[in-house]
Amino acid sequence: YPVARSFYSPDLGRRQSLGEGLESWRGFYQSIRPTQMGLSLNIDMSSTAFIEPLPVIEFVNELLNRDISSRPLSDADRVKIKKALRGIKVEVTHRGNMRRKYRISGLTSQATRELTFPLDQQNTMKSVVEYFHETYGFIIKHTQLPCLQVGNQQRSNYLPMEVCKIVEGQRYSRRLNERQITALLKVTCQRPYEREHDIMQTVRQNAYHEDPYAQEFGIKISENLTLVEARILPAPRLKYHDTGREKDCLPRVGQWNMMNKKMVNGGRVNNWMCINFSWSVQDAAARRFCQDLAQMCNVSGMDFNPEPVLPPITARPDQVERALKTRYQEAMTKLQGQEIELLIAILPDNNGSLYGDLKRICETDLGIVSQCCLTKHVFKTNKQQYLANVTLKINVKVGGRNTVLVDALSRRIPLVSDRPTIIFGADVTHPHPGEDSSPSIAAVVASQDWPEITKYAGLVSAQTHRQELIQDLFKTWQDPTRGTMSGGMIKELLISFRRSTGQKPQRIIFYRDGVSEGQFYQ
């Protein structure tokens, strides 16, 4: 089954359920690319979500995670079913080998037993239940369920759910939920040598040398991977605070830990609070967790007040906005003009949209730094490593530095250390397929210190749907009194760099993700 430049098949292995009527199919991506070696075949393994080819009733059972014949459908159930099934192709199973296919356009508001339709031009009405019994000898069992509507709105056809089966090979192009994403990542995660083996096997199975079109053009494709000269870059030495037992360290295979080390610049947190959104975490457990985290922050080199502004409270996840704003106001009243510097939030392990809602409110409404922790980590018996990792995140969020490259301090990084340099990074995130009205979000970050190049500031901007060019990167406008004015995200970050370092950058390095070769010169 082709999807853009990829091909998927249920026979390529690793077919696995993702939940709610979806499954992952294995496939491969391929394209021919011009390279310095000539034309090269670029091929890689990939996985994506397909709709499980189930009988519709089984699909709906999976979607709602219950037996739909056990109790009536609620309005919310109907909306969910209609949204999931609209546009899906089904085949009928009540006519023997005649498997006619239809595309679902909707769901009837009435139950199957209540549905009638005009049988002829004299408008003789016939019930769906009677029609199926008389015409096909088929007795509908689930008469309490709605029918599927197929065809157009002017002339709808009614199909009982139990006579329909979803046609195989329909890719699911809408957004996956958190559990489905986790399941898909689990099935796609492979060790490099396993991935290499699968790619080689795919190339052999594709038998490009037998392809008549490739032969016609005189294209021959080797079954061996291209060999290129490469080396592993030496790991940079990291500088830590002089008061720690270890003042610097050399990472091994990309790993190191904070044992016997202190942050090179520990941040300060005097005013903080904790809100617990998990019903399984008692107040005493939340208090103890916060004490352990505060202690780890201090041990690692931060100046962290062990006492919160207010004791931790428990709140309901469905009232996140009210809980955050109420507690924030209570804390601000007590602080009398001082700012809240950190919110620690304890979340349920499966929290749906709670994490996103909390971040949005904290960052756009309240303007406070937040750190989320899952329930499973609160109850972890040996959580020192976890607390150390969270401490590193908190320190950066409150303006500290965890570590600095030794080469940066000794001015030995080419094209960075010789003169004041700012490093930018930019990307645009587009809405998922099906979200036609949502804007694309452009994000630009830039370094805010030199020579360390460790602190970064970020800006985000909403722009036209699926527009890859960043519209707010640089812009000009006419001011009635001051004439032509210029601004934008670049200018804002350049001014911020000067404010934090005391000097203008003399060099700009710009990293840009997600741009095709055709757009490079734009």
Q: Which residue has the tokens 């960052």?
A: 363
Would you give the distance in Å from CA 394 to the centre of its chain? 22
CATH H-level superfamily of 411-519: Ribonuclease H-like superfamily/Ribonuclease H (3.30.420.10)
Nearest partner of 79 among 65, 63, 90, 103, judged by Cα? 63
Backbone dihedral angles phi then psi of residue 160, each to the nearest 5 degrees: -60, 145
Nearest partner of 383 among 275, 296, 299, 302, judged by Cα? 296
Rounded to an integer, what distance in angstroms lies between the CA atom of residue 22 and that of residue 63? 9
Tokens representing 99? 């498997």
Rounded to an integer, what distance in angstroms lies between the CA atom of residue 368 and that of residue 332? 12
Contact criterion met (CB below 8 Å) for 469 and 516: no
Tokens representing 60? 């709906």
pLDDT at 154: 66
pLDDT at 468: 86
**Strands in 52-183 per DSSP E:** 89-92, 101-111, 116-118, 125-127, 146-150, 157-160, 164-166
Task: Residue count of the chain, please give it.
Answer: 522
Query: Residue 277: exposed, middle, or buried by beta-carbon count in 10 A (0-12, 13-18, 19+)?
Result: buried
Rounded to an integer, what distance in angstroms lies between the CA atom of residue 85 and that of residue 167? 12
Rounded to an integer, what distance in angstroms lies between the CA atom of residue 116 and that of residue 125? 6
Contact criterion met (CB below 8 Å) for 196 and 188: no
**Which pTM does this prediction carry?**
0.79
Q: What DSSP designation does 161 have? A: G
Q: Which residue has the tokens 């046609």?
A: 167
Rounded to an integer, what distance in angstroms lies between the CA atom of residue 443 and that of residue 427? 6
Amino acid identity of residue 42, one-letter, is N
CA dihedral 210, 216, 217, 223 (to 10 degrees): 10
Nearest partner of 515 among 416, 425, 415, judged by Cα? 425
Q: Is 446 helix (H, G, I), strand (E, B) or coil?
A: strand
Residue 402, CA atoms < 13 Å, CB-side half-sphere: 16
Rounded to an integer, what distance in angstroms lies between the CA atom of residue 62 and that of residue 19? 7
Contact criterion met (CB below 8 Å) for 290 and 312: yes
Amino acid identity of residue 285, one-letter, is A
pLDDT at 153: 65
Per-residue pLDDT of the chain (522 residues), as tens digits, is 888 889 999 888 778 999 999 999 999 999 988 998 888 999 999 999 999 999 999 999 999 999 998 888 999 999 999 999 999 999 999 988 888 999 999 999 999 999 988 877 777 888 999 999 999 999 999 999 999 999 776 677 899 999 999 999 999 988 888 889 989 999 899 999 999 999 999 999 999 989 999 899 998 999 899 999 999 999 999 999 999 999 999 999 888 888 899 999 999 999 999 999 999 999 999 999 999 999 999 999 999 999 999 999 999 999 999 999 999 999 999 999 899 999 999 999 988 789 999 999 999 999 999 999 999 999 998 999 999 999 999 999 999 999 999 999 999 999 999 999 999 999 999 987 767 788 999 999 999 999 999 999 999 999 998 888 899 999 988 989 999 989 999 999 999 999 999 999 999 999 998 777 667 776
The topology under which CATH files domain 56-166 is: paz domain (2.170.260)
Query: Residue 512: exposed, middle, or buried by beta-carbon count in 10 A (0-12, 13-18, 19+)?
Result: middle
Centre a 10 Å sphere on the Cβ of residue 400 and count the other Cβ atoms it contains: 24
Domain map (residue ranges) of the chain: 2-53+173-216, 56-166, 257-404, 411-519
pLDDT at 193: 95
The CATH class of the 257-404 domain is: alpha beta
**Checking DSSP bridges between strand 303-304 and strand 38-51, what pairing results, if any?**
unpaired
pLDDT at 445: 98
Contact criterion met (CB below 8 Å) for 266 and 301: yes
Contact criterion met (CB below 8 Å) for 319 and 337: no
pLDDT at 70: 84
pLDDT at 122: 75
